[in-house]
């Protein structure tokens, strides 16, 4: 096929997505989901950290359009190729609205974030992984939510009270989402949460460290209710936080079920 004929064929390709839909049902979110893509995150100790996120991108769709142009989401992602980070999210969403003719745009990212931690006694260094997320929306105004999931150790107060020997403990996850008026470091949020468990979780522990964290947990028993309340107290004391949600889930070591508690607060 000659270039001229190829061009002529492309010119005749119909744009089905923009054809009229007669059902008069608008769609809240339509787009692409679960894209694996490199991003750059601000790191408190090393300025920047490169990681790989799972990304979801959506816009609203008016009732009269049959569909949206899925390829344009990927085109926009590629346009920001070396600049995908928290400081670019509002600009990306504005471009999404413009490129797709939408009133509202949504961008969600979930990614592993690594923090170097020292064991409590031996001071052995290791990298600890935390799951973090950015969730941003732009309609009339820009809205951004930072999320983290922090593993903790919790020791059951009831078990400690009832047992003649020891007490059952388990690993849990404390999930926090925040809106803020002033920037907050991921590392500071992680540290705040870890102080509310029976003991932090580490990637590397020597024998002396294991003795320390086991005894620390035994002297610091916590229910899931205790953990969400303590995180709530600490977040409520930060003037920069305007809204937060905190949830704790213990993967119980002696029960088939998990234990769960959640608190949400609007601080405005």
- Taking only the tens place, the pLDDT of each residue in 197-226 is 999 999 999 999 999 999 999 999 999 999
Q: Residue 20 has what pLDDT?
A: 65
Query: Long-range CB contacts (< 8 A, 24+ apart) of 16-21?
Result: 16/66, 16/67, 17/65, 17/66, 17/67, 17/68, 17/69, 18/65, 18/66, 19/65, 19/66, 20/64, 20/65, 20/66, 21/63, 21/64, 21/65, 21/66
Full set of structural domains in the chain with CATH = 21-114 (3.10.270.10), 141-268 (3.10.270.10)
130-177 pLDDT, tens digit each: 999 999 999 999 999 999 999 999 999 999 999 989 899 999 999 999
Angle between helices 70-79 and 89-100 (to 10 degrees): 140
In this structure, is the dihedral angle defined by the CA atoms of residues 44, 47, 51 and 55, taken in order, positive or negative?
A: positive
Cβ-Cβ contacts under 8 Å for 14 (sequence gap 6 or more): none
pLDDT band at 69 (very low <50, low <70, confident <90, very high): confident
Q: Residue 250 has what pLDDT?
A: 95
pLDDT band at 1 (very low <50, low <70, confident <90, very high): low
């Amino acid at each position: 096929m000659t270039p001229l004929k190829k061009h002529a064929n492309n010119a005749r390709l119909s744009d089905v997505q923009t054809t009229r839909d007669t059902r008069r049902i608008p769609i809240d979110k339509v787009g692409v989901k679960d894209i694996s893509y490199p991003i750059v995150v601000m790191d408190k100790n090393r300025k920047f950290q490169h990681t790989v996120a799972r990304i979801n991108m959506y816009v609203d769709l008016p009732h009269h359009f049959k569909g949206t142009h899925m390829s344009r989401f990927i085109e926009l992602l590629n346009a920001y190729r070396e600049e995908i980070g928290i400081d670019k999210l509002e600009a990306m969403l504005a471009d999404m609205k413009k490129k797709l003719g939408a009133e509202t745009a949504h961008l969600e990212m979930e990614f592993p974030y690594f923090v170097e931690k020292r064991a409590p006694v031996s001071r052995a260094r290791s990298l600890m992984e935390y799951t973090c997320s950015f969730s941003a929306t732009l309609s009339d105004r820009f809205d951004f939510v930072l999320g983290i999931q922090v593993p903790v150790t919790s020791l059951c107060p009831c078990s400690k009270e009832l047992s003649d020997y020891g007490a059952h403990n388990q690993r849990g996850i404390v999930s926090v989402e925040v809106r803020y008026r002033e920037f907050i470091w991921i590392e500071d949020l992680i540290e705040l949460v870890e102080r509310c468990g029976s003991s932090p979780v580490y990637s590397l522990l020597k024998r002396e460290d294991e003795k320390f964290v086991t005894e620390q947990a035994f002297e610091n028993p916590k229910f899931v209710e205790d953990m969400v309340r303590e995180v709530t107290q600490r977040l409520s004391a930060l003037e920069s936080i305007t809204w937060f949600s905190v949830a704790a889930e213990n993967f119980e070591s002696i029960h088939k079920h998990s234990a769960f508690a959640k608190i949400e607060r609007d601080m405005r």
